[in-house]
Amino acid sequence: MNFSNEELLEMYSDIVKSRVLGEKIVEYIFSGKIAGAIHPCLGQEAVSAGILTAFKKSDIITYGTETHRAQTVMAHRVGWKPFIAELLGRTGGCNDGISGEYHIHDLKNGQLPAAGALGGTWAEIAGFAWALKNDGKKRQIGFAPYGDGAISQGATYEAMNIAALFKLPILFFIENNGIAMSTPVENQSPLENLADRAAAFNMKGVTVDGDDPVAVAEAVLNGMELAANNEPNVVEVKTMRWEGHYVGDPQKYRDLSYKEDLDSICPVVRFEKRLIELGILDDEIIKAVRESQTKEIVDGFDEGLSQTIATKEQVLDYNRVYSNNAGGEL
């Protein structure tokens, strides 16, 4: 384990932040303050914490999208306040609260456009990664994540093929939470480890425990390093979705007995135990981290909610649709 105590504590802070964000999203949706069907990350916090740790530790710059459950990573990229405001549909959002969390997009901060339709972003990021390479930008890569369901789309294979042929600096990341909406991963792909697909493109692929933020961080760091050397590769992390597909999903399609003892499968609890064993964490720090993270997020929501909502004129702004006067009328 190549992480200092400080790094481990920050990792802890990030896993808690993901947990709190997930809980708050659920809360704010139930209280009607967030529109649309948002996909909560509960149960998968170690994935985001691992990714964030890797991003912070490495000197490699990433440009990418995130899976729709990695809101913590989106927020890290575009800034917490602009992220939360976008989620709330407020003008302080990174796109004025008009595009929404589904379409988060902030190129200057490395956030490539998120898509509501699944399947296309891997190939899109491949194009961006090609541009990075062609511009001679060293140690800059494309980061292309998807869930276990999204990678069934044909274009994801096409993207891997392109990446392998053009030797693009890109890391394909599979967040395998075992389920896609209501469909278990066994009904999506006939593979034990989804990273094995990499072999079909002569690429390396690894599968690690996605509930261990350290394992995730290490795998992502390795993958980023390979990518930075123009060796596209695949990292799969295995985790578990606790909540429904969307907030409020009754999950009738699924055996919910795991809910009886969430602590036993909780990546936050597990990481806490490990850090306590290592002597890095104690109850006091646990409490303090939880409080500070909660405060930051609640403040963000409060600030977001205090902002205006875009006007009709802003929404129907011609310049938002076309770059010049040759577009035809809206």
Partner 1 sequence: MSEMSVMKALNLAMFEEMVADEKVICIGEDLGKQGGCWGTFTGLQEKFGENRVLEFPILEAGYTLFSVGAALGGYRPIVEFMFADFVTLGFEGIVDIAAKIRFNSGGVDSCPVTFVLPQGGGGKSGAHHSQSVEAWFANVPGLKIVAPTTPADIRAYYRAAIRDDDPTLFIYQRATMGLTGEVPDVLDEVPSLAKAGKIVKTGADLTVVAYHRALLNAMAAAAQVEEETGKTIEIIDPRVLIPFDKEIVFDSVKKTGRLMVAHEAPERGGFGAQILSWVVENCMKELKAAPVRVAGVNSIIPFGDLEKYLYPSVEDMKAGILKALK
Ligand X SMILES: Cc1ncc(C[n+]2csc(CCOP(=O)(O)OP(=O)(O)O)c2C)c(N)n1
* Token pair in block for residue 196: 């094995």
Q: 1 or 181, CB closer to partner 1?
A: 181
CA distances from 232 to 66, 207, 221 (A): 18, 15, 13
Binding to Mg ion in span 132-161, by CB under 5 A: 147-149
Task: Give Cα 89 to chain centroid, integer Å.
Answer: 20
Q: Does 321 bind partner 1 (CB under 8 A)?
A: yes
Q: Does 201 bind a copy of itself (CB under 8 A)?
A: yes
**Helix residue ranges per DSSP H, the chain:** 5-30, 45-57, 71-78, 80-87, 121-134, 154-166, 213-228, 267-277, 283-306, 312-315, 318-321
Contact between 71 and 21 under an 8 Å Cβ cutoff? The reply is yes
- Tokens 């933020």 belong to 213
Q: Does 178 bind partner 1 (CB under 8 A)?
A: no
Name the β-bridge partners of 125. Answer: none
Diameter over CA atoms, the chain:
65
Give the whole-angstrom CA distance, residue 233 versus residue 141. 12
* Token pair in block for residue 151: 């990678």
Task: Find all residues with CB under 8 Å of 36, minimum gap 6, and list them.
Answer: 100, 101, 102
Q: Which range binds a copy of itself by CB under 8 A, 30-38, 158-166, 208-216, 280-288?
A: 158-166
Q: Does 117 bind a copy of itself (CB under 8 A)?
A: no
Contact letters for partner 1, residues 65-94 (x by CB under 8 A): ------------------------x----x
Report how many residues bind Mg ion under the rule CB under 5 A: 5
Q: Which range binds partner 1 by CB under 8 A, 147-155, 201-209, 226-234, 290-298?
A: 147-155
Q: Does 195 bind partner 1 (CB under 8 A)?
A: no
- 181 touches, from a copy of itself, ligand X, Mg ion, none (C-beta below 5 to 8 Å by class): ligand X
Contact letters for partner 1, residues 157-176 (x by CB under 8 A): -xx-xx--xx----------
Q: Select from 26, 85, 112, 268 the one that contacts partner 1 (CB under 8 A).
A: 112
Binding to partner 1 in span 265-304, by CB under 8 A: none
Instruction: Using CA atoms of 24, 25, 26, 29 in order, give the dihedral in degrees to the nearest 10.
Output: 120
Task: Give Cα 209 to chain centroid, integer Å.
Answer: 16
Phi/psi of residue 207, nearest 5 degrees: -125, 130
Q: Which range binds partner 1 by CB under 8 A, 24-32, 41-49, 110-118, 215-223?
A: 110-118
Report how many residues bind a copy of itself under the rule CB under 8 A: 21
Residues 14-46: b if buried by 16+ CB within 10 A, e if exposed? bbbbbbbbbebbbebbeeeebeeebbbbbbbbb
Least distance in angstroms from the C-beta of 286 to ligand X = 28
Report how many residues bind partner 1 under the rule CB under 8 A: 79
Q: Does 241 bind ligand X (CB under 6 A)?
A: yes
- 201 touches, from a copy of itself, partner 1, ligand X, none (C-beta below 5 to 8 Å by class): a copy of itself
Contact between 16 and 271 under an 8 Å Cβ cutoff? The reply is no
Site residues, ligand X (CB under 6 A) = 39, 67, 69, 116-119, 146-150, 177, 179-181, 241, 245
Query: Which residues bind to a copy of itself, rule: CB under 8 A?
Result: 152-158, 161, 164-165, 187-191, 196-197, 199-202
Give the interface with Mg ion as residue ranges (CB under 5 A): 147-149, 177, 180
